[in-house]
Amino acid sequence: MTSFVVEADGGSRGNPGPAGYGAVVKDASDGQVLAETAEAIGTQTNNVAEYRGLIAGLRSLLAIAGDGAAVEVRMDSKLVIEQMAGRWKIKNEGLRPLASEAAGLARRLRVTWRWIPREKNKDADRLANEAMDAAAKGRPWRLAGASPAAPAPGGPAASGPSSGRAAGSAPAGPAASGGPAAGFRETASRETGSASAAPATVQDSLLDLIGEEETVAPAPYGPASGTDPETTAATGSGVGTGWRPPTTVATSLLLLRHGETPFSAERRFSGVGDPELTSAGIAQAEAAAARLSRPPYGIQVVVSSPLKRARATAEIVAAMLGLEVEVEEGLREVDFGDWEGHTFTEIQRRWPDELAAWLADPSAAPPGGESFEAAARRVQTTGDRLVERYEGRTVLAVSHVTPIKMLLRFALEAPPSALYRMHLDLAALSLIEYYADGPAVVKAFNDTSHLR
């Protein structure tokens, strides 16, 4: 079933000439416009502008719905539709990079390609012309009556098109089990088949920091003391990518997001509600367990959020490691209050003012819920406590999108807006290493190689 529609268009007044594009994201069920975007792109051809419109539309959809969303892409460009559907070859060398970029975005979605007559693509055509008209007057495009939108989550469009609707640039939704909303959306993976772990002899992911024959925990950041970093890089010897030799043993914090739940599969806000893992979620947890039970991880402690979806994931991993699960209250998901169990579209319709405030201000909370500002204080306190309690050890923390993203942000000393630039899949692994005599180091992010 198609959940969304993307309509895109581009034009050039001269071919080549002053060019622009427009794209609109709609709810497939009722045609409600969720996002509009447009941009003037200087002197270009019609086909370049059309591809740029397609790319902008796909980016806007990913910012709203995350990976795996079902979408029908509609354009009046027969060339672009047929090339993206794989029925026509791309003979123009200048279009190939754009087609490749569009195809990469499309692979993150479930796309149906449909050509439509120009008269049925009026919204995207209007936006493209508005962008070109604005550029002719020396102004950037803005949707009539709209203020600049909030930053898009994990979306590459920050330096690109202007967006005139908050929905089109909503932060990445419910942090917990994968709703389609703003803030820290759990952009859930749609890999619902049985997940299997990689063979024990294959270590090719971001978390594979040492050779497979070694059985110790991931090595500290930076080459071994006394090793010249340029020599290390040239020869491939040594471990790590830093320039500074470590002087203490790292405290390694592996962060695992829980597996799939019914709410994450349906992209609903899931905070302190307690849905259980689906069969696919159990398979994802088992795949993570198989991976983490092998070298080089050497996990010594397993801690978990108290919520069922995280506890169940942690217990599957801990059982394979022969460890007990320690429950850590501070690792729970944000409380979404009255929004629990709702989709982003439902919330946008029922609580438009409250949603707009929540997207714009981390101190604003959902009705009856918890603000991201309050959650950040809780998570930072918890992270500091874990690092102090388990100094020099390797700890697996099973949690949710919001706490994991926040811990990564704190390690990077990044601003709160960095959370909107992160995408976190179900059952994904990330790694932070903490040093008593230096900064925390993020060594891996959103690694899902064990699910492939």
Which residues are catalytically annotated?
A: 258, 333
Q: Closest by alpha carbon to 114, among 225, 28, 237?
A: 28
What is the rounded distance in angstroms from the CA atom of residue 205 to the CA atom of residue 197?
12
Question: Contact, 299 vs 329, CB < 8 A?
Answer: no
240 φ/ψ sector (left φ>0, alpha ψ -120 to 50, else beta): left
Question: Contact, 396 vs 421, CB < 8 A?
Answer: no
What is the rounded distance in angstroms from the CA atom of residue 314 to the CA atom of residue 318?
6
Q: Closest by alpha carbon to 327, among 364, 295, 300, 302?
A: 302
